[in-house]
């Protein structure tokens, strides 16, 4: 009888003392899992906000550049000269890339083709980076020059080097005076410098 009594006491203690502790432990484990899930969701949300912010900042930068091109105070001759330098810079980039990967030349008929394919082709990417470095340009310069080409291509005229030499315009001064956007201004100045330095080396 005493043994049965002790067994009943042990059963009572187990049911009334151990089980609550187990329930608390299970609850803590559940809360920990929920916290991890919540943290993961917050991390993903923060990454999305950060990415969206970068996209928005880039869009604002592009909008500012387009606005600068619309509002620039270049004369028609200055626009033609800068358009010519832009064309020659983009063409020079292609020539330098082709020189690095001549076996791929047939599939790279234009600079635009190179821009589309370089991200998926390591050799083209490497040749492209070497070409940029060779001309003293940056990736952002190419985007700015392409935007300038697009904005003025329907009305601007290409001036060959011989005709450019007959124009008295100081292009560096014209760009600094007329182009408001700092990134576009820097890209145009580097394009002019790249073409002139390349011509001087010939």
The total number of residues written for the chain in this structure: 202
Domain identity same for 38 and 117: no
Residue 78: give the domain boundaries: 74-201
pLDDT band at 41 (very low <50, low <70, confident <90, very high): low
Closest CA to 189 of 165, 166, 172: 172
Q: Quick one: DSSP state of residue 155?
A: T
Question: What is the CA 86 to chain-centroid distance, rounded?
Answer: 20
Domain identity same for 82 and 52: no
pLDDT, average across residues 68-89: 82
Give residue-wise pLDDT tens across range 146-173. Answer: 988 988 888 889 999 889 888 877 888 9
* pLDDT of res. 151: 85
pLDDT band at 33 (very low <50, low <70, confident <90, very high): confident
Domain identity same for 12 and 30: yes
* Whether the predicted pLDDT of 191 surpasses 90: yes
Closest CA to 172 of 186, 162, 157: 186
Domain identity same for 20 and 95: no
Tokens of 44: 């993903």
* Whether the predicted pLDDT of 190 surpasses 90: yes
Domain identity same for 78 and 36: no
Domain identity same for 67 and 80: no
């Amino acid at each position: 009888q005493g043994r049965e009594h002790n067994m009943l006491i042990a059963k009572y203690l187990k049911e009334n003392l151990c089980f609550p502790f187990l329930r608390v432990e299970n609850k803590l484990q559940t809360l920990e899992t929920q916290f991890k899930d919540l943290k993961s969701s917050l991390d993903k949300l923060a990454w999305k906000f950060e990415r969206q912010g970068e996209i928005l900042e880039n869009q604002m930068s592009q909008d500012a550049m387009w606005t600068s091109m619309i509002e620039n105070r270049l004369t028609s001759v200055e626009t033609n000269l800068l358009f010519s330098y832009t064309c020659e810079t983009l063409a020079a980039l292609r020539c330098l890339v082709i020189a690095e990967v001549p076996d791929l030349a047939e599939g790279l008929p234009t600079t635009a083709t190179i821009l589309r394919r370089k991200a998926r082709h390591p050799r083209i990417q490497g040749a492209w980076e070497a070409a940029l470095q060779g001309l003293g340009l940056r990736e952002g310069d190419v985007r700015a020059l392409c935007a300038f080409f697009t904005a003025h291509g329907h009305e601007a005229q290409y001036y060959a080097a011989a005709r450019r030499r007959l124009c008295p315009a100081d292009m560096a001064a014209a760009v600094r005076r007329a182009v408001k956007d700092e990134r576009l201004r820097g890209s145009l100045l580097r394009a002019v410098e790249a073409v002139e330095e390349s011509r001087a080396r010939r």
